[in-house]
């Protein structure tokens, strides 16, 4: 498994703490290499991380910005990404196990809570119940169609 993580300039500190934590747990981590400055834009980081998640076998993504909302909106514009903004470990479990999320978005939260959320996201199995799989299939089918 590989974790690809990215953050805007306001969230670099938490990004680096999570990356260090995960590396310490023996997980392969790639940190988004886009440069940071006060004028950087969260969509750039979301798009970069999500493209890598889509193009890397067995990868998950973690995005961090001020409150996680902007990152999740941008991430969900990338075909094949199902990103959920999560605020606790129960959200992380349901995002992955019920909704097939392959990316989560966090706000600037305390690092201990971030570790709990990330641990839950990584260790939770993807959806396997038929009702969840059917819902994910509907989303995937809609994503592939043109809409007017």
* Cα→Cα distances 50→3, 5, 24, 46, Å: 11, 9, 23, 6
Cα dist from 33 to 29, 95, 111, 131, 139, whole Å? 12, 26, 21, 38, 30
The reported pTM is 0.94
pLDDT in tens, 61-112: 999 999 999 999 999 999 999 999 999 999 999 999 999 999 999 999 999 9
- Number of separate domains in the chain: 1
Residue 147 catalytic? no
| Helix, strand, coil percent values for the chain (each to nearest 5) | 50, 15, 35
Q: Cα–chain-centroid distance for residue 76?
A: 10
Q: What is the CATH number of the domain that holds 126?
A: 3.40.1400.10
CA torsion angle for 144, 81, 52, 40 (degrees, to 10)?
110
Select which of 32, 50, 65, 83 is catalytic.
Answer: 65
Report which of 130, 70, 131, 132 is spatially closest to residue 101, judged by C-alpha positions: 132
pLDDT for res 12: 96
Mean pLDDT of 112-136: 93
CA distance 137 to 89: 24
Task: Quote the pLDDT of residue 91.
Answer: 98
* pLDDT value of residue 142: 84
Catalytic residue among 9, 32, 83, 98: 98
The predicted-structure confidence for 10-64, as pLDDT tens digits, reads as follows: 999 999 999 999 999 999 999 999 999 888 999 999 999 999 999 999 999 999 9
Which three-class secondary structure state does DSSP give residue 12?
helix
Q: Which domain holds residue 18?
A: 2-144
User: Is 132 marked active-site?
Assistant: no
Confidence of residue 145 (pLDDT cuts 50, 70, 90): confident
């Amino acid at each position: 498994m590989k974790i690809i993580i990215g953050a805007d300039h306001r969230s670099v500190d938490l990004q680096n703490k999570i990356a260090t934590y995960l590396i310490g747990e023996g997980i392969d981590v790639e940190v988004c290499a886009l440069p940071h400055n006060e004028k950087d834009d969260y969509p750039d980081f979301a798009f970069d991380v999500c493209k890598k998640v889509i193009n890397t076998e067995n990868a998950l993504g973690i995005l961090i910005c001020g409150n996680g909302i902007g990152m999740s909106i941008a991430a969900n514009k990338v075909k094949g990404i199902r990103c959920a903004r999560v605020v606790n470990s129960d959200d992380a479990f349901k995002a992955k196990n019920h909704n097939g999320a392959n990316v989560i978005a966090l706000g600037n939260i305390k690092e201990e809570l971030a570790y709990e959320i990330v641990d839950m996201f990584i260790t939770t199995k993807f959806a396997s119940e038929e009702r969840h799989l059917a819902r994910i299939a509907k989303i995937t089918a809609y994503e592939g169609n043109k809409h007017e």
